[in-house]
Amino acid sequence: MTQPVSPPRDSTDKVPPVGQHLTWRDMMARADVRTLSLLGVLAVLVVIGGITKPDEFLDTRNLQLVLTQASVIGVVTVGMTFVITSGGIDLSVGAIVALASVWATTVATQEYGFGGILLTAVLVGLGCGLVNGLLIAYGAMVPFIATLAMLASARGLALQITDGRTQIVTIDGVLELGERDSYVLGVPPLVLVFAVVTVIGWLLLNRTTFGRRTVAVGGNPEAARLAGIDVRRQRLYLYLLSGLCCGIAAFLLIVLSGSGQNTNGNLYELDAIAAAIIGGTLLSGGRGTITGSVLGVLIFTTITNIFALNNLQSDVQQIAKGAIIVAAVLVQRRTASTT
Amino acid sequence: MSHLTSRRGLLFGTAAVSAGALLTGCTSNEPKDEKPAADDKPADDKRGKEVTIGFAGPQADHGWLNAINDNAKSRARNYQDVTLEITEGSNDTATQIGQIETLINKKVDVLVVLPADGKALTQVGLKAMRAGIPVVNLDRVFNTPQAYRCWIGGDNYGMGLNAGHYIGEKLKGRSNAKVIELAGLDNLELTQQRTKGFDDALKNYPNIRKVARQAADFTVESGQAKMAQLLQAQPKFDAVWNHDDDQGVGALRAVEQAGRDDFLMVGGAGALSAFQAIKQDDGVLKATVLYPPTMAASAIDLARALGQGKGVGGLAEHEIPASITLYSAVVDKDNVEQYMSTGFR
């Protein structure tokens, strides 16, 4: 009754060879096609918005609104892009945003004013990132599990701090930052922060050793190690970076909503991962694009905006959102493979 | 065989407990309760039979739910004859079932249950009732009346109705008035009921048209985001009803950020921050429709009355009612002072 057993598959034969024969120029060309197709999707959305609601959609105030709404999740997505590029994942971003926003808006923190709130938000983000990084890099925990654990505990701690209450910010300096009077040449300060984070992220990923190491660790950690990269330290830095981005995003959210609440950052992890993947970052690591991620975020925010302006209800919004994600990825793959 | 005995045992057990309850009910010489229903203090209540009340609620991750726990605890403290066994709140159905079963095993006298999900917890309500422990079902209703002795809760339809009427009266005489709605989490039945009540009320005012509705999800963050979009979508409107004061914090922030003040806003639930804004009367928020968390205090009153075999003061009956729907009062500048102490943070 012995049945023929198929020979055990060699687990290594699916792994791409270490030295992929791709020139720098090839990679740039590919990235460009991806970026162009994303811009195409965005252009189609703008046309749809412009046709359905010309007055409300094609309006400076609406542009300001869309970019402002994109800035919080945008900053988180930049950090997430680095982590995913390195072959990791950070499921705890939403929870870290919640914890940082809550910790930075307690009565005690608010006594220290603007600086106290900003510093606390950033430090809490960094602290959570540090724990994630240590667990993953030096505790040899799988990123999925380590950050899932962080998600649970950070949310729990946020709930414990607030007791489920909404902590209202009373510092005028913080509140004013979200209002029209503080726009710089028509650009909201939140959007400026988003822009600065994006530019720094792009430079860091594309123009520095840190960025090349990130890609190398994601592409093939063993090869990276043999090439002399301290893979563990690199991973630690990456989760610290993601935590830092969450801290900054938490501060932006405090400015935007004028409060801290333990429900903040709900499902940010999914939004950030979706935006990065749509943007062209490989979920398995080894390839990442900040430009793509930011375009991914803008596509999502624009969709939400068009839906709201056209008064579509949640059910329709959710169905359409799912369909558009699939369509965007398909279009992108088609255009990427035909060149 | 063993199955049979256990069922028989259960039957006998239930019968014995009910008989016991009946007996104590008959022999009780305590005077009928005289607690004023609307008053904050049940202090003049005489000490009666000792009652242990088990309380199980969802995780207090929202201002209103937190206020529910606070109301229950402080009310129980006011009674010397009440011991409150309160569980760690949970949103997980399985966890909450486990917690309630623990309370049943501890043989508490009465159970007060605010289910995370009413339908999903019906079985454990039935189990408690069969074990002879009367259940006061708080707010989110069980599937069948067999699972509770008394239901007390808010009126979501009434909230919408009263909000609609308030706005309708305020906009009386204004032709072609436009109204928008910032709803709560669309996945919840209560949101649909609130919207239905609002729409039904607006039907009485032919001069008013609802031009937009977006659903937020009870968080400040979503309130800000959705309200910002609504403000952009509707350059001109006369009134907005927001289902929830917590998300209203974000909505008001969006209004401020957009620099708009050309409409009136009505909130929902009854948060302290909303009451304060209404009192100050320097923004768009002019009123809020209550979904009173004091219902938890009343649930403790009812549970105590059940445990002591009494009725409710002010009513002629010897027993507490089977069902109590609370009124969704409109709080505006004229009466806000009266409600200030019930506002939750």
Q: Is the pLDDT of residue A36 over 90?
A: no
What is the per-residue pLDDT across A238-297, written as a single tens digit (0 to 9) for each? 999 999 999 999 999 999 999 999 999 999 999 999 999 889 898 889 999 999 999 999
Q: Please state, for a pLDDT cut of 70, what percent of chain B lies above it.
A: 87
pLDDT at A3: 47
Q: Is the pLDDT of residue B309 over 70?
A: yes
Would you say residue B141 lies in a domain? yes
Query: Which range of residues forms the domain containing residue B230?
Result: 156-290
The total number of structural domains that make up chain A: 1
Would you say residue A16 lies in a domain? no
CATH of the domain at B307: 3.40.50.2300
**DSSP string over B52-69:** EEEEE-----SHHHHHHH
| Domain identity same for B172 and B260 | yes
**B326 touches A at CB < 8 Å:** no
Would you say residue A19 lies in a domain? no
Would you say residue B138 lies in a domain? yes
Q: Is the pLDDT of residue B6 over 70?
A: no
| Domain identity same for B141 and B217 | no
Q: Is the pLDDT of residue A334 over 80?
A: no
Would you say residue B81 lies in a domain? yes
pLDDT at A18: 45
Q: Please state, for a pLDDT cut of 70, what percent of chain A lies above it.
A: 89
pLDDT at B98: 93
The band of B4, judged by pLDDT with boundaries at 50, 70 and 90, is very low
If residue B287 lies in a helix (H) or strand (E), which one and from where to where? strand B285-290
Collect all residues of chain A within an 8 Å Cβ-Cβ radius of residue B259: 179-180
Class of residue B337 by CB neighbours under 10 A (exposed 0-12, middle 13-18, buried 19+): exposed
| Domain identity same for B224 and B315 | no
Would you say residue A258 lies in a domain? yes
| Domain identity same for B237 and B306 | no
Contact (CB<8Å) A311/B63? no
CB atoms within 10 A of CB B23: 11
- The answer to whether the CB of A277 falls within 8 A of the CB of A93 is no
pLDDT at B37: 39
Query: Which range of residues forms the domain containing residue A321?
Result: 57-337
A169-188: burial string, b at 16+ Cβ within 10 Å, e else? bebeebbebbbeeeeeeeeb
pLDDT at B66: 85
Which range of A29-38, A90-99, B84-93 scores highest in mean pLDDT? It is A90-99
- The answer to whether the CB of B83 falls within 8 A of the CB of B50 is yes
pLDDT at A214: 96
CA closest to B186 among chain A residues: A314
Q: Is the pLDDT of residue A6 over 70?
A: no
**A265 touches B at CB < 8 Å:** yes
| Domain identity same for B315 and B235 | no
**B226 touches A at CB < 8 Å:** yes
| Domain identity same for B266 and B202 | yes
CB atoms within 10 A of CB B196: 14
pLDDT at A31: 59
What is the rounded distance in angstroms from the CA atom of residue B159 to the CA atom of residue A81? 45
The model's pTM: 0.83
Would you say residue A146 lies in a domain? yes
- Under DSSP, is residue B239 helix (H, G, I), strand (E, B) or coil? strand
Which tokens in the block code for residue A83? 């982590």
Would you say residue B263 lies in a domain? yes
| Domain identity same for B145 and B174 | no
pLDDT at B123: 94
pLDDT at A318: 84
- In 3D space, the residue among B52, B249, B45 whose CA is nearest the CA of residue A253 turns out to be B249
What is the per-residue pLDDT across B43-89, written as a single tens digit (0 to 9) for each? 346 788 999 999 998 887 778 888 899 999 999 999 999 999 998 88
Would you say residue A278 lies in a domain? yes
Residues 20 through 39 of chain A touching chain B, CB cutoff 8 Å: none
State the angle between helix axes of A60-85 and A93-103 in degrees (0 to 180), rounded to the nearest 10. Answer: 120
Which of B91 and B302 is assigned the larger pLDDT? B302
Q: Is the pLDDT of residue A17 over 70?
A: no
Domain boundary among B271, B290, B309: B290
Contact (CB<8Å) A159/B59? yes
**A65 touches B at CB < 8 Å:** yes
| Domain identity same for B188 and B265 | yes
Would you say residue B340 lies in a domain? no
| Domain identity same for B205 and B252 | yes
Domain boundary among B243, B266, B290: B290
| Domain identity same for B296 and B150 | yes
pLDDT at A332: 67
Name the percent of chain A in helix, strand, coil, to the closest 5: 75, 0, 25
What is the per-residue pLDDT across B19-50, written as a single tens digit (0 to 9) for each? 444 444 333 334 444 333 344 444 346 788 99
- In 3D space, the residue among A238, A268, A263 whose CA is nearest the CA of residue A72 turns out to be A268
Would you say residue B13 lies in a domain? no
The band of A309, judged by pLDDT with boundaries at 50, 70 and 90, is very high
Smallest Cβ–Cβ distance between A69 and the set B63, B214, B225 belongs to B225
CATH of the domain at A287: 1.10.3470
The total number of structural domains that make up chain B: 2
| Domain identity same for B99 and B190 | no
| Domain identity same for B183 and B204 | yes
- In 3D space, the residue among A136, A144, A142 whose CA is nearest the CA of residue A231 turns out to be A136
- Angstroms from B106 CA to nearest CA on chain A: 28
If residue B209 lies in a helix (H) or strand (E), which one and from where to where? strand B208-215
The band of A30, judged by pLDDT with boundaries at 50, 70 and 90, is low
